[in-house]
Amino acid sequence: MGSIEDLLPNVALEDVFDLRIVEIMKRITDVISITAIILSIFVVYLILTVTPKYMYGLRPYLLFYILSGLSEKLLAALYKGFVILPHGVYFPVGWLAPMSHTTTQIFTATTYVVTFLLLTSLLMLLIDRYLAMTVTNPNTAPFYKKKSFYLCFFLTISGIASFINLYSNLFMDQYNYGDVTARYVLKKIAGSQKLLDYQPDLLSFNLSNTLPQTLITYSIIGGDAFFFIFFVIFIVLNIVEAKKAMHLVSVRSRRNHNMLIKMTYAQILGLLTFIFLPQFSFTYLYGFFSNSSYLFAVGLTVKDFFLLYDIGVTVICIKPYRTFVTNLFCKCTNKPDVLTRSSRIIEDLLPNVTLEDVFDLNAVEVMKRVTDILSIATIILSVFVIYLILTATPKYMYGLRPYLLFYIFSGLSEKILAALFKPFVIFPYGIYYPVGWLAPMSHTTVQIFSPTTYVVTFLLLTSLLMLLIDRYFAMTVTNPNTAPFYKKKFFYLFLCLTVSAISCSIDFYANLFMDQYNYGDVTARYLLRKVSGSQKLLDYQPDLLSFNLSVTFPQALMGYSVIGCGAFFLFLFSAFIILNIFVAKKAMHFVSVRSRKNHNMLIKMTYAQILGLLGFIFIPQISFFYLPAYIANSSYIFAVGLTIQDCFLLYDIGVTVICIKPYRNFVTNLFCKCTNKPDVLAGSSKISDMAVKLNTISRFESMTSLEDLLPNMALEDVFDLRAVEMMKRFTDILSIATIILSVFVIYLIFTATPKYMYGLRPYLLFYVLSGLSEKIVAALFKPFVIFPYGIYYPVGWLAPMSHTTVQILSSTTYVVTFLLLTSLLMLLIDRYFAMTVTNPNTAPFYKKKLFYLFLCLTISTIACVVNYYANLFMGQHNYGEVSARYLLKKISGSQKLLDYQPDLLSFNLSNTFPQSLIGYSVIGCGGFFFVLFAIFIILNIFVAKKAMHFVSVRSRRNHNMLIKMTYAQILGLLAFIFIPQISFFYLSAYFSNATYLFAVGLTVQDFFLLYDIGVTVICIRPYRVFVADLFCKWNKEPSSLTRSTRISDAVVKVNTISRIR
């Protein structure tokens, strides 16, 4: 054996090969193989009988391609070579196993032969499309423009590479035959006798640098590189040259070409997705896994879907085959033909509107620029986090590292796709209008990007679910090797990837199948018919994708696949969250303290990421798709929705770095080095004079029973200074930026508010000033709660501060919160009365805004006075030395906190009178505002909406503009303040260290005013126009509202087509 083999480690069989996993994989792939072979025969029959005359030139290559795929599938089913890495041993598990060494060699080499034939046939489909568009007379064309030349050329190259492979495999016998391979396996893999009992003759493709191995390697690399070059050349030629030549052929030829080239592109994409990418990925990733059998099982299963995918692409993309299958299905089920039945089209029921009613270029432009900045920042930070995971991950997290890396990569892919595509939906017409970096883009590109978004979303869900599953099994499974299959992480990884692959394949098929409904001129005519002035959109992006509301077969497929896959993930997430909360929590008593701490650290990161997925992706998506039904112009809603979704990966990066201590320490130390500051935790831990004095005072005996029941803990278990420091620095930057932007918005309200908004201006000004006050108080105070001891630890700009200052700022927080709610409620009330009250002077008192303003301010004042009184009255319970003694008694090591902030405010859990006052005042005032908000939202939706028919069109538009801003602000208040606050206070009960939760909670809350400013500027048109014009002046560009609206050639053509009725 060569020297490199001697460097490979000696391992146990269980570490590199799991027979149960291989058995499960074998059974699944056997079912897939039989199904694919049967369907392949049916497709061969289709090609021979249903192919129309204009495809006769392509039919031989298509038949060649399907037969090559069928041959590859048969070989794979018969052989199925499972590679045991890193020892390069091929272990056949196919239908013919066990088999002799010579049979294994022949099958191995034959696999390369059919792979080269598959590549040849696919390349010929691509070349056929190029030559069909560019060569007018094949008989007089030069040799390099003839298909036969390329076919002969590729077959020759494939023959040479295949011959080298066959020869080298047979020539390798002197190195790896029989006893040599068996001895090597027995030497390197303990327990490998089980393999040799089943398959005595193994083929070992060792790492020794022998002549046959060099020949095989170079032949494969050379053959692949050769095909890769030609694929790239002819893809570029088809995109550039053939596309230009399409203007010189008939409309029918153009449509046929689009149909066939799209099928070819989809097959190339399938070859990359199901063959090459899994092969390279799973071969590379095995270095991160202790047992690579799981990876190869997934890899072989994914590869087995390739022919199934190819069959689907061929049938769906080519219209004659698709029509034949649809008619056959309809005959078998006794249903009318889906393609020819007369059905009422829902689109005809949708109203005809102007472009300004459904699409605002200014809002889109502002959103695009904001999200572009967010995307660039997030991509850079993602790369840094990937570096962190690869370099700063400690050993005890090595098992989790692949899933964490998988999660960040999935999020990064989603971010890049979103930045490139960025689909803006024109509601309710279901038209996807891309505004990303690649815009304008072709219809095929839009079709590919649309389902690819689902792919990365499902990968993101899979990776996040695996983080959750990993935590459960880490606590409950003691020996993974002897655990049943349903208690192995690989089983769930395989299951999630399989379900995701099926759903994504359906999405791809459905998108390609939708062409007969929404392609090209049809979509353009539909847009021009329904939305007057929409030629502006078509000037920029002629090819749009219309996901219409008609219940067509492909749309039903897509809808059910997404809903089904989503329900599957929802079930698994719910199951493992419950298992982690109840089962894994009980098992924590049987593990070491260190393992418990590590588990708490990782599970809370996972929970925070799940919460972020809900808060930034799913809840906004559902909300913003539902709300347009109540709002005339939904472009503002989608602009806000896309902006919120763009913050998701930024949130994820922050959660990952803050929650995981090694990453947090790395970032903190890096920051300290860059700023030449000492480490936050490395300061002197000497006890301050106050703490020295307190340690000499007798034990505090007057604490009530609830506090005595709370556990004594270490400071590290309830408070992490690094997490707090990182949160503080991040929120400080946000606070400064927000305060500056708030001042600018106040200037906008004073200068850019039109006359028809003068009645609303005081309440809008009141709202922004309340938000600004809340932001300033939060920045000055920033109370960090040490749970469950109810201790407010200020980390704001004024820290350290006296106890009285802490009390005053604590109560002031409630004041500004109630003022914020009052101002927001007045915006809502103003909208209702503007639509329903014709004469405010003669209206009864309960229909006057002043009455509600006075009522809200009175209730808020009472609640605030009670709060101030209770906070000052609480001094006899928690003032000064009492709070400090309580802290030192309960939390060991808490002198570090007292060094920095001697005077703390302890809002204890004891049921004292002042605490009861505070609690009831907050709950009572909150309940009052909740009732009024609910009442006026219902009145605005039902009563004010009916009254809109009696006002002018201008008043109606102004009302829609202002009410949607108010709804967006209410949604922001829920999403950024109340839901995070309630969630993080509730979830802290399940975590031993709630520092990270409160750090994330305070950070999320700090985004609120930033969100509010964006909503105000984007939703109110005069402010939006002012900002857009200001931006254009700085960039010396014409305003997007004054650009030329010239009509493109595509639109001129569309306008000449007869009107659809």
pLDDT higher at 1022 or 198? 1022
Residues 513 and 541 in one domain: yes
Would 168 be classed as within a structural domain? no
Tokens of 856: 């809200």
Q: Rounded distance, CA 258 to CA 497, Å?
A: 31
Residues 885 and 758 in one domain: yes
pLDDT higher at 370 or 1038? 370
Would 593 be classed as within a structural domain? no
The 10s digit of each residue's pLDDT in 179-234 is 667 777 777 777 777 777 777 777 666 545 566 666 777 777 788 888 888 888 88
Residues 443 and 530 in one domain: yes
Torsion angle of C-alpha atoms 337, 338, 343, 344, degrees rounded to 10:
-170
Q: Rounded distance, CA 503 to CA 803, Å?
A: 59
Q: Please spell the DSSP secondary structure of 135-177, one letter per residue.
A: -S-TTTS-GGG-HHHHHHHHHHHHHHHHHHHHHHHHHTHHHH-
Whether residue 358 contacts residue 425, with contact meaning beta carbons closer than 8 Å, is answered with: no
The 10s digit of each residue's pLDDT in 282-331 is 655 555 555 667 777 777 788 888 888 888 888 888 888 888 888 887 77
Residues 610 and 706 in one domain: no
Residues 814 and 950 in one domain: yes
Three-state DSSP class for residue 794: strand
Least confident of 267-276, 363-372, 1042-1051: 1042-1051
Q: What integer is the mean pLDDT of 134-140?
A: 82
Q: Beta strands of 76-156 (E only): which ranges?
A: 81-84, 89-92
Number of domains forming the structure of the chain: 2
Give the CATH number for residue 956: 1.20.1070.10
Residues 941 and 1059 in one domain: no
Q: Rounded distance, CA 502 to CA 562, Å?
A: 10
Looking at the predicted structure, is the pLDDT value of residue 392 above 80? yes
- Side chain identity at 903, as an amino acid letter? D
Query: pTM for the whole thing?
Result: 0.44
Give the pLDDT band of residue 920 (cuts 50, 70, 90): confident
Residues 713 and 609 in one domain: no
Q: Rounded distance, CA 465 to CA 499, Å?
A: 13
Looking at the predicted structure, is the pLDDT value of residue 710 above 50? yes
Would 166 be classed as within a structural domain? no
Would 736 be classed as within a structural domain? yes
Would 243 be classed as within a structural domain? no
Would 46 be classed as within a structural domain? no
Give the CATH number for residue 650: 1.20.1070
Residues 625 and 714 in one domain: no
The 10s digit of each residue's pLDDT in 463-490 is 888 888 888 888 888 887 787 777 888 7
Q: Rounded distance, CA 911 to CA 427, Å?
A: 53
- Quick one: what percent of the chain has pLDDT higher than 90? 0
Q: Please spell the DSSP secondary structure of 205-254, one letter per residue.
A: --S---HHHHHHHHHHHHHHHHHHHHHHHHHHHIIIIIHHHGGGS-HHHH
Tokens of 272: 């990359």
pLDDT higher at 558 or 688? 558
Whether residue 323 contacts residue 331, with contact meaning beta carbons closer than 8 Å, is answered with: no
* pLDDT score recorded for residue 698: 35
Whether residue 462 contacts residue 566, with contact meaning beta carbons closer than 8 Å, is answered with: no
Give the pLDDT band of residue 515 (cuts 50, 70, 90): low
Q: Please spell the DSSP secondary structure of 548-591, one letter per residue.
A: -SS--HHHHHHHHHHHHHHHHHHHHHHHHHHHIIIIIHHHGGGS
Residues 409 and 541 in one domain: yes
Would 277 be classed as within a structural domain? no
C-alpha angle 352-356-362 in degrees, rounded to nearest 5:
155
Q: What integer is the mean pLDDT of 235-243?
A: 80
Residues 647 and 738 in one domain: no
The 10s digit of each residue's pLDDT in 9-32 is 677 777 677 777 778 788 888 888
Residues 960 and 872 in one domain: yes
Looking at the predicted structure, is the pLDDT value of residue 705 above 50? no
Would 63 be classed as within a structural domain? no
pLDDT higher at 361 or 917? 361
Residues 954 and 838 in one domain: yes
Residues of the domain holding 363: 343-573+600-677+1037-1061
